[in-house]
Amino acid sequence: MRRLKKNYYLATFCSVVGILGLIRWATGCSTVQPSENENNIVSCVPARNAGTQDSVAMHDSVAQEMPHTEPRQVITTTRKGNRPHPIYSVPSYTNCFPDLQDEQIKSARKHGIRPVQNREEAENRKKELVYIGSNPYYRIDPDMNRSIPYLVPHAAMILETIARNYLDSLHVKGIPLHKILVSSVLRTEEDVHRLMRINPNASPESCHRYGTTFDIPYNRYHTVTPPNESRRDVQNDTLKWILAEVLRDVRREGLCHIKYEVKQGCFHITAK
């Protein structure tokens, strides 16, 4: 009896296997082939990869306009996706930089040196002053002839902070690099008297006499051109907007007084 049941099950199993084999042969599925849709899906993968490469290439072209060191930083330091930081400027130059002469002169007298009579005396006062003529972050105006490139150490540090922050801000905003210019620094008594003859706005109590004060033009900049590379032009207004953001932040930190000079076309800055 057990032998008959075993033979019955084997016969049934063989019949089922045979029927499945006939069905497989009849439908032609002995070799599995990718469908037309599957081919389309596979062919789309390189297209997506190519798009990604194009996107990276686009940001690389932007990054090439940044400093030669760490050009990818433009991408990694962005706030929204891969876009550079936005430019806001300030709501009002006059309201953001209102520090008048009466206020600045107090800080100049407190933190500065005793005024020097002439340039020969200034040369002998170098222990109190720092030479700022050679610097990788900013540029002394080549037309500066009524002051000399010396500041007290504290003011020199503030100037360097402003210049470094400005370059960094240009970098993260995707703007080709420009250095700020310094158009006026330490003035001797003789410089002040000569300036008063041609400039009615010049004051005999100039803050520049104390080595605490410097002027940064907002309508002129020094373009930094990478060797053997072309770069796009940038309007002075754009550079001015970014400079205003940097100066506003430095002033908020309580490092200096700043006056927006309309007639002179500069920011008049005195260290606190």
Buried b (16+ CB within 10 A) or exposed e, 132-152: beebeebbbbeebebbbbbbb
pLDDT at residue 238 above 80? yes
**Pick from 129, 134, 136, 131: nearest CA to 163:** 136
193-229 pLDDT, tens digit per residue, is 888 888 766 778 899 999 999 999 999 999 998 877 7
**Strands, E, within 84-200: which ranges?**
130-131, 138-140, 150-151, 178-182
**pLDDT category of residue 135 using cuts at 50, 70 and 90:** confident
Average pLDDT over residues 2-31: 57
Q: Which of 220, 157, 209, 154 is nearest to 185 (CA)?
A: 209
Overall average pLDDT of the 89-97 stretch = 95
Mean of pLDDT values over 102-124: 94
Res 253 pLDDT > 50: yes
Q: Which residue has the higher pLDDT, 70 or 128?
A: 128
User: How many other C-beta atoms can be found within 10 angstroms of the C-beta atom of residue 121?
Assistant: 13
Residue with more model confidence, 35 or 199: 199
Give alpha helix (H) positions in 173-259: 189-198, 236-252
pLDDT over threshold 60, residue 79: no
- Which pLDDT tens digit goes with each residue over 147-199? 999 999 999 999 999 999 999 999 999 999 999 999 999 999 999 988 888 87
pLDDT for res 81: 55
In the chain, the domains with their CATH numbers are 88-271 (3.30.1380)
- Predicted pLDDT of residue 101: 93
Write down the mean pLDDT value for the chain.
78
Q: Residue 19 pLDDT > 50, yes or no?
A: yes
Span 245-267, average pLDDT: 96
Q: Is the model's pLDDT at 63 over the cut of 50? A: no
